[in-house]
Amino acid sequence: MTEKTALITGASRGLGHALALALAPTHHIIAVGRTTGALEELDDAIKAKGGAATLAPMDINTDAAMQTLCRGIYDRWGSLDLWAHTAVHAAPLAPTSMIDAKDMNKSVAANVTATATLITYIAPLLGSDGQALFFDDTRAGEKFFGAYGATKAAQIAMARSWQAETVKTGPQVHIAAPAPMPTATRARFFPGEDRAALADPTAEAARILGTLNA
């Protein structure tokens, strides 16, 4: 049986981490993240499940690193079965009239430019049978979410265009809407909320993966 592969960009923590663990029994996980220690902890958890992972401590904003990553996937496996893109830059909340230029630039680079670049590199690996998974967020237009909301909405608009373009040819592009979870990103946005009331990332990962085609 040919080994299935799953690339998780943003696998260090949160939903990406949970997706990697959920997929580990059936896929070789290619885990991308900027925090080496967190990736090593993920690797230990995947091994405990009897799975295997390739760790890629990289920044998705570094074009050369992404080229090297995708070339490595092609050289080793020849293709990719699934790409789940959970990496995101969450700029600090601020009134729109006071958005810091550096925060805006980082948001555009990570949430829009890097996503567009990754699509061009990963689409050939997915071919006609692979699947790509993006994650929507409805905060666009809410007060204080100018930088994050606008760039996240742009990312999803791009994913929807790709989805419409590939209906007949593949790969299949999915856009999921996760329930609020106690992630580090959400904690930065809502530091005082009751995290016990939020959805468990493990349960959300299982629910979202259950919507994909086997």
Residue-range domain boundaries for the chain:
4-207
- In tens, the pLDDT along 30-73 reads 999 999 999 999 999 999 999 999 999 999 999 999 999 999 99
Token pair in block for residue 156:
């999803």
Six token digits for residue 38: 């967190």
Q: Per-residue confidence at 3, pLDDT binned at 50, 70, 90?
A: confident
What average pLDDT does the chain have? 96
> What's the pLDDT at 214?
52
| Averaged pLDDT for residues 93-122 | 98
At position 41, the amino acid (one-letter code) is E
> Residue 4: enclosing H or E segment and its boundaries?
strand 4-9
The DSSP 8-state label assigned to residue 195 in this structure reads G
**Tokens 């993240």 sit on residue:** 33
Residue 191 preceded by cis peptide, ω within 30: no
213: confidence class by pLDDT, cuts 50, 70, 90: confident
Q: What's 109's DSSP letter?
A: I
The pTM of this model reads: 0.95
| First-to-final CA distance of the chain | 15
DSSP state of 76: H
CATH number given to 4-207: 3.40.50.720
